């Protein structure tokens, strides 16, 4: 079984890269939303799912953003419980035995024994702001200042969770097989190269 995990900076396009990568390789695809749905269907603590749909003062934020933000707020409330549930769900996904791409949720750490191909996706701040603006276009717009503040908060939460789980630093180049900077690319143009890289790794 081949597992690709994607960790990413907020706004770097890591989720889009993961989705397109899965499409190209014919792998299953899981991100935060899908994992929470699986959790619900598996009868795992529904608070986990509910919390992610709660209003944390970001009701005007595009729906695609809200999941990520909600989870960070929930973690402050009940971090350990969340992590245990996530772990269960992610292990269940892996136990299906099907090739898959998993975005976020520290799947790279939780599934260490499966030796996944670990990707970290980053981008320069200006490129991340651009991407956030594009995603939000036609909806409620946020100021750059507001976006930057959120970006920092979310990445800090991700870093803290990872350190808690693994002891290794979030974004540490040696914790991933490949670190891809999306600043100068369209994600679409990047996908074949990343897919070939992952394939080479699985065949090595």
Q: Which one of 21, 107, 110, 122 is in contact with a second copy (CB under 8 A)?
A: 122
Tokens encoding 176: 């991933």
Tokens encoding 204: 């090595």
Helix ranges (DSSP H) in 27-169:
32-41, 46-53, 63-95, 107-110, 125-136, 144-166
Using the contact rule CB under 8 A, the part of the chain among 31-39, 52-60, 138-146, 188-196 near a second copy is: 188-196
Residue 6 CB, shortest distance to a second copy, in Å, is 14
Q: Which of residues 16-45 bind a second copy (CB under 8 A)?
A: none
Q: How many residues interact with a second copy (rule CB under 8 A)?
A: 27
Tell me the sheet residues that pair with 101: 4, 29
The answer to whether residue 177 forms part of the interface with a second copy (CB under 8 A) is yes
Using the contact rule CB under 8 A, the part of the chain among 21-29, 33-41, 129-137, 178-186 near a second copy is: 178-186
Q: Which one of 120, 132, 151, 161 is in contact with a second copy (CB under 8 A)?
A: 120
Residue 36 CB, shortest distance to a second copy, in Å, is 28
The answer to whether residue 95 forms part of the interface with a second copy (CB under 8 A) is no
Q: Would you call 121 helix, strand, or coil by DSSP?
A: strand
The answer to whether residue 123 forms part of the interface with a second copy (CB under 8 A) is yes
35 HSE (CA, 13 A, CB side): 28
In the complex with a second copy, the residue whose CB is nearer, 140 or 203, is 203
Instruction: Estimate to the nearest angstrom the gap between the alpha carbon of 189 and the chain centroid.
Output: 20
Tokens encoding 48: 């986990």
Task: Give the number of other CB atoms < 10 A from CB of residue 66.
Answer: 19
Burial of 65 (0-12, 13-18, 19+ CB in 10 A): buried
Q: Which one of 58, 114, 164, 197 is in contact with a second copy (CB under 8 A)?
A: 197
Contacts with a second copy, residue ranges (CB under 8 A)? 120, 122-124, 171, 173-174, 176-181, 183-186, 189-190, 192-194, 196-197, 200-201, 204
């Amino acid at each position: 079984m081949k597992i690709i995990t994607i960790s990413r900076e907020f706004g770097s396009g890591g989720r889009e890269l993961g989705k397109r990568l899965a499409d190209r390789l014919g792998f299953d695809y899981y991100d935060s939303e899908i994992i929470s749905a699986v959790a619900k269907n598996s009868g795992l603590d529904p608070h986990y799912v509910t919390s992610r749909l709660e209003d944390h003062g970001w009701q005007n934020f595009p729906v695609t953003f809200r999941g990520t933000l909600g989870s960070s707020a929930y973690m402050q409330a009940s971090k350990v419980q969340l992590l245990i549930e996530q772990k269960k769900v992610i292990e269940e996904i892996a136990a299906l035995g099907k090739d898959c791409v998993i975005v976020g949720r520290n799947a790279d750490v939780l599934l260490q024994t499966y030796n996944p191909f670990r990707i970290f996706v980053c981008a320069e701040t200006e490129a991340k702001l651009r991407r956030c603006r594009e995603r939000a276009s036609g909806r409620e717009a946020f100021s750059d200042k507001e976006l930057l503040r959120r970006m920092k908060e979310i990445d800090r939460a991700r870093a803290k969770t990872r350190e808690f789980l693994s002891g290794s630093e979030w974004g540490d180049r040696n914790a991933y097989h490949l670190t891809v900077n999306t600043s100068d690319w369209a994600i679409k143009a990047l996908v074949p190269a990343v897919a070939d890289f992952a394939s080479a790794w699985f065949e090595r």
